[in-house]
Structure 1
Amino acid sequence: MSVSQITPTLFLSGADAALNQALVNRKGITLIINVTLSHSCPIYPGVECVRVPVSDLPHARLGDHFDRVAARIHGNRCGGTLVHCAVGLSRSPALVMAYLMKHKGRTLRQAHGQVQESRPAIRLNAGFWEQLLDYERRLYGKNTVKVAAPLEPIMPAKRPVGALRYGCERVGRAPIKYYSEW
Structure 2
Amino acid sequence: CTKRSSSLDSGSPPGLAPAPRITSNLYLGDVAATNSHLLLFTRCISTIINISLEVVNTLCPDVGYLRVPVMDAPTTHISSCFDSMASKIHGWGHARSDTAALRCWGEQVPTICLANLQKNNSTSLAGAHAWIESCHPIIQPNNGFWQQLIYYEYKLFSMNRLRKISSPLGMTPDVYENELRVMLLL
> TM (normalized to structure 1)?
0.77
| Residue 46 of structure 1, CA deviation | 2.5
**Cα distance in 2 between the residues matched to 1:39 and 1:8:** 25
- In 1, the alpha carbon distance for the partners of 2:171 and 2:40 equals 36
Q: Which runs of 5+ in 1 are unaligned?
A: 153-182
Q: CA deviation at 1:44?
A: 2.4
Aligned to 2:91: 75
The one-letter amino acid paired with 1:83 is L
Give percent identity, aligned residues only: 30
The one of 140, 161, 165 aligned to 1:148: 165
**1:54 alignment counterpart:** 70
3-state SS of paired residue (1:116): helix
AA partner of residue 37 (structure 1): L
1:21 aligns with 2:37: yes
**1 or 2, which has the higher helix percentage?**
2
Match of 2:144 in 1: 127
The C-alpha deviation readout for 1:56-98, integer Å capped at 9, x for no partner, is 11111111100111111111121311112215xx111110111
- Give the match for residue 106 of structure 1: 123
Name the count of aligned residue pairs: 150
Match of residue 42, structure 1, among 58, 64, 83? 58
Structure 2 distance, partners of 1:151, 1:33, is 31
Aligned partners of 1:148 and 1:2: how far apart in 2?
A: 33
In 2, the alpha carbon distance for the partners of 1:31 and 1:107 equals 27
Indicate if the aligned counterparts of 1:42 and 1:49 stay in contact, CA closer than 8 A. no
Q: Which runs of 4+ in 1 moved over 3 A?
A: none
Alignment deviations for residues 130-160 of structure 1 (CA, whole Å, 9 cap, x no partner): 11001000000011100112548xxxxxxxx
* 1:165-176 map, 5 Å: none
Which structure has more RCO (C-alpha within 8 Å, separation ≥ 6)?
1
Q: What is the RMSD computed on CA atoms of the aligned residues?
A: 1.5
- What CA distance in whole angstroms lies between the structure 1 residues aligned with 2:98 and 2:66? 15
Find the aligned partners of 1:15 and 1:131 in 2 and give their Cα distance. Answer: 25
Q: Larger deviation: 132-141 or 17-26?
A: 17-26
TM-score (norm 2): 0.76
- Are the counterparts in 2 of residues 30 and 47 from structure 1 also a CA contact under 8 Å? yes
Structure 2: which 5+ runs fail to align?
A: 1-16, 173-186
Residue 21 (structure 1) shift: 1.1
